[in-house]
Structure 1
Amino acid sequence: MKRNAVFFEVAALCLSLLILAGCGKTTRTAAVPRPEGKLAVAGFTNPVYNWELLAGYLEQEGKPAPEGTMETLDMIVADTLHEHQVFDYITPDAVKQCQDVVVFEESGQPRVSAWKYWLGVGKCIQADYLLVPQLTTWRERVGSDGGVQTPASVAIDFYLIDIKAERMTRSRYEETQQGLLENLYNAKKFAARGGKWVTATRLAQDGIDEKLMELGL
């Protein structure tokens, strides 16, 4: 019992130090140069069947995220791009018009692959690059910020499609929040979140920020 008490005291001290250390504001730069050319950003989609994915597979098909989730994520992407000083891009509303056109053109034909579909959307919008975000996992926490029965879990894929070269770069964010004592390697991240159990929206916000930077956006 005494050993456990000492361990928890040390862990609490480490958490306090990490919180203090994280208070300073840091300047970050993107991992790669910003893509040159006209950028288009699609709205979030939530594939529920594997054929809708640009890559990978779903752990469980037919399980969509709660209503309103895509709209929330779209707003987070717009805010994050603004924070990253990315202003000049074709918006999801404009991209949606081309999504409707491509669907119409393919009607009555065998189902096209997700790759062919999104490449067609990029060509329709006449962009050099098309950013396609897909949400594949969304599980809200069960509990409160002080303690949970089930932590939040999120998985998001960002695909940056080079339209002319017909190739894409994938950047995946996947996290199920873990407590400080479950994984000390994540102690800094747990401290940056105030030592609290966060919502799925907060996980997504962190992931969007991280992965856009990774893609140069």
Structure 2
Amino acid sequence: MRRTFSLVTFAALALSLLLTAGCGTSKRTAAVPRPEGKLAVAGFSNPIYNWQILAGYLDEEGHPVPDGTLDALDGILRETLQRHQVFDYITPAAVKQCEDVVVFEESGLPKVSAWKYWLGVGKCMQVDLLLVPQVTYWRERVGSDNGVETPASVSLEFYLIDVKQERMVRARYEETQVSLMENLFTARKFADRGGKWVTATRLASDGIEEKLTELGL
């Protein structure tokens, strides 16, 4: 009898959390004031070696993301900035020109640190701020919307570099989707995703939304 009661209570609590989450608004407000100054936004990159990342380390080296992933993430990033009404920035296509210049200038020299490289790109662009997004882990779900053998999992890094002050702010997003019963605290996400198992691209989209907001963008 006690076991039956506890299961009923648990189910009721889960349902209550899910309904509460579904009734809330998904509108976000920036966590900090919007950064001031001339902004450039780099396209997503996929570091596969530790010397290519700006902070931390990779769990495993040498594992690139699938073809087409970076282009898809660039599109989501552009749409998210537009939705957040961030329009006045130098685009990834323009930043790429300075990325090529810095690579050329460093050719023949020992590998430069990721920090020195991206700071050099920012100085080449003559901007105050440079946003550098990176995807460091990508695992697609194995299964369907209704059930999976392996859930999707992603890790994203966002670095907002203050070029003149030579410092940066880091925002990290890491998620492996779990079911509602595994973690009741994810009830809002569970409701927002229609109670389904989502793709890695959907996880990444949520991460871009969350971390741009955290950075004030």
TM-score interval, normalised by the smaller of the two chains: over 0.9
Contact kept in structure 2, 1:15 and 1:191, CA below 8 Å: no
Contact kept in structure 1, 2:21 and 2:187, CA below 8 Å: no
Aligned to 1:10: 12
> Which ranges in structure 2 are unaligned for 5 or more consecutive residues?
none
Aligned to 2:97: 97
Aligned equivalents of 2:66, 2:133: Cα separation in 1? 17
Residue 26 of structure 1: CA displacement? 4.9
TM-score by length of 2: 0.93
Q: How many aligned positions are there?
A: 215
Fraction of identical pairs, as percent: 71
After superposition, the C-alpha distances for 1:132-163 in whole angstroms (9 at most, x for unaligned) are 00100100011111111111001000000000
Aligned equivalents of 1:19, 1:42: Cα separation in 2? 34
Code of the aligned partner of 1:30 = A
Code of the aligned partner of 2:79 = D
Structure 2 residue 152 is matched with structure 1 residue 152? yes
Specify the SS of the correspondent of 1:158. strand
Code of the aligned partner of 2:23 = A
Specify the SS of the correspondent of 1:133. strand
Contact kept in structure 2, 1:45 and 1:134, CA below 8 Å: yes
What is the aligned-residue RMSD (CA, Å)? Answer: 1.7
Aligned equivalents of 2:17, 2:199: Cα separation in 1? 20
Range 52-61 or range 5-14, more displaced:
5-14
Residue 66 of structure 1: CA displacement? 0.2
Aligned to 1:64: 64
Are residues 164 and 16 of structure 1, via their aligned partners in 2, closer, same or farther at CA, if it must alter by over 3 Å? closer
Contact kept in structure 1, 2:22 and 2:192, CA below 8 Å: no
Aligned equivalents of 1:200, 1:11: Cα separation in 2? 28
Aligned to 1:179: 179
Aligned equivalents of 2:83, 2:115: Cα separation in 1? 29
Are residues 12 and 40 of structure 1, via their aligned partners in 2, closer, same or farther at CA, if it must alter by over 3 Å? same
Contact kept in structure 1, 2:14 and 2:181, CA below 8 Å: no
Residue 192 of structure 1: CA displacement? 1.3
Specify the SS of the correspondent of 1:157. strand
Code of the aligned partner of 2:109 = Q
Aligned equivalents of 1:79, 1:53: Cα separation in 2? 25
Aligned equivalents of 1:37, 1:83: Cα separation in 2? 20
Residue 21 of structure 1: CA displacement? 1.3
Code of the aligned partner of 2:12 = V
Code of the aligned partner of 1:103 = V
Aligned equivalents of 2:64, 2:206: Cα separation in 1? 21
Structure 2 residue 122 is matched with structure 1 residue 122? yes
Aligned equivalents of 1:115, 1:69: Cα separation in 2? 24
